[in-house]
């Protein structure tokens, strides 16, 4: 049994990844490799949303080992409590999917952006990712056998911004730096770190994409989206690699979204 922590697990990408991990270890076709089973600790702000995810997981795999831990990733004490709970229950940690994040306020020009809005996005997307990664890193370093994997949820905004997205874009660029640093600092301890950059997965956060979003030329235009399950399958592939191999960066995006050539 492998142990995973998924942050932002109450909805969207986090929920899809938790469900995908839950499918692992089920009976496979004759002659195919047996995948490892995962126990999944679900972290997020609202317990009711986590319980909804847990119920969906048990629908897929009735014997699933699921733990709901309400957590505010911007709070160092809450993050410490999350990983202490996981350590107490399971004794080790094999995967952190560092997924919790927010777009922040939409439609606000850079010159009008309140500092409070900037700080909320930074606290969630960057400081929260740091706190969770640090707690996971410490546990993976100290456990026997040593090692584990951290997968950071980046964005295509880590490569190219949308209009009026300075807080979100800045944090996703910073997350790329965190990913690279963790990859280097984790080498002596068999801790692998990679990043998945996602473009237009169909979730609650991207609901406006199909009705029309602001483009670089100032026009509003609808954009294609993809199933979040396609992202989840990629995360699962990254997670199930042996620690001797790592997907450092991968981009999964709606094929026809205006990203390549954007701007």
Mean pLDDT, rounded, for 79-102 = 97
Q: What is the pLDDT of residues 21-30, one digit of tens each?
A: 998 865 455 4
Mean pLDDT of the chain: 92
DSSP assignment letter at 252: E
Give the E-state strand segments of 135-190 in sequence order: 148-153
Kindly report the pTM of this predicted structure: 0.92
Looking at domain 2-26+33-253, its CATH architecture is 3-Layer(aba) Sandwich (3.40)
Enzyme catalytic residues: 168
Reported as a pLDDT band with limits 50, 70 and 90, residue 12 is: very high
Q: Does position 31 have pLDDT exceeding 50, yes or no?
A: no
Reported as a pLDDT band with limits 50, 70 and 90, residue 155 is: very high
Ordered by start, the domain boundaries in the chain are 2-26+33-253
Mean pLDDT, rounded, for 205-224 = 79
- The reported pLDDT for the residue numbered 205 is 67
What secondary structure does DSSP assign to 3-27, as a single string?
EEEEESTTSHHHHHHHHHHHHTTS-
Reported as a pLDDT band with limits 50, 70 and 90, residue 9 is: very high
- Block residue for tokens 């981009």: 251
> What's the CA gap between 240 and 236, in Å, rounded?
6
- The reported pLDDT for the residue numbered 95 is 98
Q: What is the pLDDT of residues 124-145, one digit of tens each?
A: 999 999 999 999 999 999 999 9
């Amino acid at each position: 049994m492998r142990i995973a922590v998924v942050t932002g697990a109450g909805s969207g990408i986090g929920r899809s990844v938790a469900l995908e991990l839950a499918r692992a270890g089920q009976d496979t076709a004759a002659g195919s490799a047996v995948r490892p089973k995962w126990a999944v600790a679900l972290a997020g702000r609202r317990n009711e949303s986590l319980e909804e995810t847990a119920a969906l997981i048990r629908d897929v795999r009735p014997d699933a080992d699921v733990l709901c831990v309400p957590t505010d990733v911007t709070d160092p004490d809450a993050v410490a409590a999350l990983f202490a709970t996981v350590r107490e229950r399971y004794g080790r940690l094999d995967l952190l999917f560092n997924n919790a994040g927010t777009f922040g306020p939409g439609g606000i020009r850079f010159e009008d952006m309140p500092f409070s809005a900037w700080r909320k996005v930074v606290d969630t997307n960057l400081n929260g990712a740091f706190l969770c990664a640090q707690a996971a890193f410490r546990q993976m370093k100290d456990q026997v056998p040593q090692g584990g994997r951290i997968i950071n949820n980046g964005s295509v905004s880590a490569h190219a911004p949308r209009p009026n997205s300075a807080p979100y874009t800045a944090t996703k660029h910073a997350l790329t730096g965190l990913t690279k640093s963790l990859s280097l600092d984790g080498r002596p301890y068999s801790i692998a770190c990679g990043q998945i950059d996602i473009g237009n997965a169909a979730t609650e956060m991207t609901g406006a994409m199909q009705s029309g979003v602001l483009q670089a030329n100032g026009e509003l235009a609808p954009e294609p989206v993809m199933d979040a399950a396609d992202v989840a399958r990629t995360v699962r592939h990254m997670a199930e690699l042996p620690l001797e191999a790592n997907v450092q960066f991968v981009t999964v995006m709606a094929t026809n979204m205006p990203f390549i050539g954007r701007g």
